[in-house]
Amino acid sequence: MARKVVGFGEDDLRALAGARSFERGLGYLDAVSGLEVEEGSVTAVVHGTDVYKVELTLGGDDRPSGWCDCPYGQEGNFCKHCVAVGLTMLRRAKTIPHQQVAARVRASGLEAWLTALSRDELLALVQERIAEDRRLRRRLELRAAAARSDIGTARDRILTLIDPRPFTRYGYVEYADSSGYAQQVAEAAAALRALTADGQAVQALGLAEEAIRVLGETYGKIDDSDGVVGQAAAAMAEAHLEACKVARTDPEHLAQWLVGQVLGDSNDMTELDPLDYAEVLGPSGLARLRQLAAEARRRRPSGWAERYLMERLVKTEGDVDALVALYAQDLDPSGATHLRIAEELESAGRADEALTWAERGIRDCAAETYIDGRLVDYVCAHYAKAGRPADVVGVRRDRFRVEQSLTAYQQLRSAAQTAQCWEAERVAALAALREDARRERDGQYGGPVLIDALLDDGDVDTAWPEAAGLADDRQWEHLADLSRETHPAEALAVYLRLIERLKEPTGDRAYEHLARLLLGARDCHRALGTQEAFTDCLTGLRAELKRRRKLMNILDRCGL
């Protein structure tokens, strides 16, 4: 174990980054500059394809968390630049604790200095700062407007805060800028709550609805991979709900607005749930909400949002029969809706009706190539629980005949073994796969399922003659892997053919694959007593590909 400082060592960095990024990070040690140590974090810049900013957050005895503004780091990965900064810290292990102490002293000194300043001195300091920072000025102007109930200024500042254009590059808010934009949206939401608390709930309600509309219109132009803007928008929705409660808004007007939000495009941003407003809506508002949802459903019966809203309302009312009737209006050809109905009925204690609906789903979807596997599993589980293994086999057999996939074969095998009838079922299943394998396979990707099924059974003796002219490279390799001891000569021929094909591709994945094939070939030569032939083959390959240093390293690591 490498020595640790501030709670982590090289092994921790390797675990965080993965072997590949860790190895690449080693090459960036001389590219790290501007290392600045704070009490709980370290920042630096790393010079690579571009100049990247890196921050490592230290957590005592825990591994550090890292952030980098390189493309890979912005996806949430502990990148090679983070590795380089972490390794630089380990190189400077002796000085880090002293720098952290110095950081604490600086922070304490700053706090003491600020505490000692007079009101006028603090005011001058703040004014100096806001003169330099336009964004800070806008935020403070909003807080001031909210505090004095200046609705006109508050509206102007809120709309300015949620305007994404200052963060936009090429008409789009990129990932690196989404956090800053989210902070402004959260600041606007806080100002709305302040207005509500100051007796301006009606005004806050109108501003919140306007802000939510603008957010909905802009969300499609934001890379919100981490969801930070969505979280800030949720805070905006909470501010709206709070204002509704205090302002005692008209229930029917609120119902109309909520339906418009759920069925409109802006709901992607705020994810408003009308049922969160149940208390404010009251009986009359909920009734109006149900009426509007039903009308929208009639106008657009296939609409996802319309269906979702209606389902939420009916489900909340607890009327299982109404919910079943709603689901039954639009049965998915995969059987997924049948399953939902079955689950709702079972939850209501109506198990017999639930199984009837699930069986209906199996019948309705019998000819579909794809059927929701959970529905099939549901029916089979209930048959098994009722002591009906033959019926389980029947369901699995029917699905296998339609799908003819390896998964369906495995499921049939498991069911038939339980029912002690696998021998007969296997003969019929393999015959069906054999017939399928002999048909024209234009556009079919990969080798036939027949070969996969035989290999999954471990029946290599049957697989060898069947594979000729049918198997793809993946299946040939699997067959060779299973046959090193029993069919070493045949397996060796496969390995040598695949090795020859892998001489051209480059990259870590291809090199690792080539090493695996060579290890398989070595085992075959050992079984055949022809180790010298393998040595000659390996020597020739190394000479031919000697310029590929990474490949040579991988072969060395594998003992080749």
Distance, in Å, from the CA atom of 412 to the CA atom of 401, rounded to the nearest integer, reads 10
Distance, in Å, from the CA atom of 250 to the CA atom of 225, rounded to the nearest integer, reads 37
Is residue 448 classed as helix, strand or coil in its secondary structure? coil
Distance, in Å, from the CA atom of 59 to the CA atom of 214, rounded to the nearest integer, reads 39
pLDDT at 245: 92
User: Are 60 and 165 found together in one domain?
Assistant: no
- Of 249, 283, 313, the last residue of a domain is 249
Distance, in Å, from the CA atom of 237 to the CA atom of 273, rounded to the nearest integer, reads 10
Integer CA distances (angstroms), 178 to 160, 226, 433, in order:
16, 9, 52
Closest of 459, 542, 468 to residue 499, by C-alpha: 542
pLDDT at 526 over 50: yes
138-142, 272-276, 431-435, 518-522: range with lowest mean pLDDT = 138-142
pLDDT at 366: 85
Return the ∠ at Cα 220 (arms to 203 and 310), rounded to 5°. 70
Asked, for residue 274, whether it belongs to a domain, the answer is no
| 438-453 mean pLDDT | 74
Cβ proximity of 475 and 447 under 8 Å: yes
User: Are 245 and 148 found together in one domain?
Assistant: yes
Q: What percent of the chain has pLDDT over 90?
A: 43
The answer for residues whose C-beta is within 8 angstroms of residue 94's C-beta and 6 or more apart is none
Return the ∠ at Cα 511 (arms to 508 and 512), rounded to 5°. 85
pLDDT at 3 over 50: no
User: Are 82 and 165 found together in one domain?
Assistant: no
User: Are 105 and 182 found together in one domain?
Assistant: no
User: Are 140 and 79 found together in one domain?
Assistant: no
Closest of 276, 281, 196, 279 to residue 239, by C-alpha: 196
Distance, in Å, from the CA atom of 352 to the CA atom of 345, rounded to the nearest integer, reads 9
| 144-169 mean pLDDT | 82
pLDDT at 419 over 50: yes
Place of tokens 């939902």: 340
Asked, for residue 438, whether it belongs to a domain, the answer is no
Asked, for residue 309, whether it belongs to a domain, the answer is no
Closest of 418, 417, 407, 411 to residue 395, by C-alpha: 411
pLDDT at 140: 78
For residue 202, what are the domain limits?
133-249
pLDDT digits (tens, 9 = 90+) for 111-132: 899 899 899 888 888 888 888 8
Residue with the larger pLDDT of the pair 223 and 454:
454
Distance, in Å, from the CA atom of 59 to the CA atom of 6, rounded to the nearest integer, reads 8
User: Are 242 and 151 found together in one domain?
Assistant: yes
User: Are 106 and 160 found together in one domain?
Assistant: no
* Ramachandran class of 197: left when φ > 0, alpha when ψ lies in -120 to 50, beta otherwise: alpha
Eight-state DSSP code of residue 487: S
Cβ proximity of 297 and 311 under 8 Å: no
* One-letter identity of residue 284: S
User: Are 74 and 142 found together in one domain?
Assistant: no
Distance, in Å, from the CA atom of 437 to the CA atom of 450, rounded to the nearest integer, reads 7
Distance, in Å, from the CA atom of 443 to the CA atom of 134, rounded to the nearest integer, reads 60
Asked, for residue 275, whether it belongs to a domain, the answer is no
| 153-180 mean pLDDT | 85
57 strand-pairing partners = 41, 65
> By CB neighbour count within 10 A (0-12 exposed, 13-18 middle, 19+ buried), where does 305 fall?
middle
| 536-556 mean pLDDT | 91
| 531-542 mean pLDDT | 92
Asked, for residue 404, whether it belongs to a domain, the answer is no
pLDDT at 62: 63
- Of 71, 86, 116, the last residue of a domain is 116
HSE at residue 444, side-chain half, CA atoms within 13 A, is 15
Query: 0.85 exceeded by the pTM?
Result: no
pLDDT at 443: 44
User: Are 39 and 91 found together in one domain?
Assistant: yes
State phi, psi for 149 to the nearest 5 degrees: 60, 35
pLDDT at 228: 85
pLDDT at 415: 95
pLDDT digits (tens, 9 = 90+) for 284-323: 998 999 899 888 888 888 788 888 888 888 888 888 998 9
Distance, in Å, from the CA atom of 85 to the CA atom of 87, rounded to the nearest integer, reads 5
Distance, in Å, from the CA atom of 507 to the CA atom of 548, rounded to the nearest integer, reads 10
DSSP string of 53-115, one letter each residue: EEEEEEETTEEEEEEE-SHHHHTT---HHHHHHHHHHHHTTTTHHHHHHHHHHHHHHHHHHHH
Most confident among 142-151, 440-449, 479-488 (mean pLDDT)? 479-488
Cβ proximity of 376 and 399 under 8 Å: yes
168 strand-pairing partners = 173
Domain count, the chain: 3
Place of tokens 């009906």: 388
HSE at residue 52, side-chain half, CA atoms within 13 A, is 27
User: Are 159 and 69 found together in one domain?
Assistant: no
Is residue 133 classed as helix, strand or coil in its secondary structure? coil
pLDDT digits (tens, 9 = 90+) for 352-363: 999 999 999 999
Closest of 129, 133, 179, 138 to residue 161, by C-alpha: 138
* One-letter identity of residue 531: Q
pLDDT at 1: 39
Asked, for residue 82, whether it belongs to a domain, the answer is yes
pLDDT at 74: 75
Instruction: Name the token pair of 35.
Output: 């290392």
- Of 195, 226, 249, the last residue of a domain is 249
Asked, for residue 163, whether it belongs to a domain, the answer is yes
Return the ∠ at Cα 485 (arms to 479 and 486), rounded to 5°. 75
User: Are 494 and 532 found together in one domain?
Assistant: yes
Asked, for residue 322, whether it belongs to a domain, the answer is no
Cβ proximity of 330 and 337 under 8 Å: yes
pLDDT at 106: 87
User: Are 139 and 75 found together in one domain?
Assistant: no
Is residue 317 classed as helix, strand or coil in its secondary structure? helix
Closest of 127, 201, 131, 190 to residue 158, by C-alpha: 190
Q: What is the mean pLDDT of the chain?
A: 87
* One-letter identity of residue 385: K
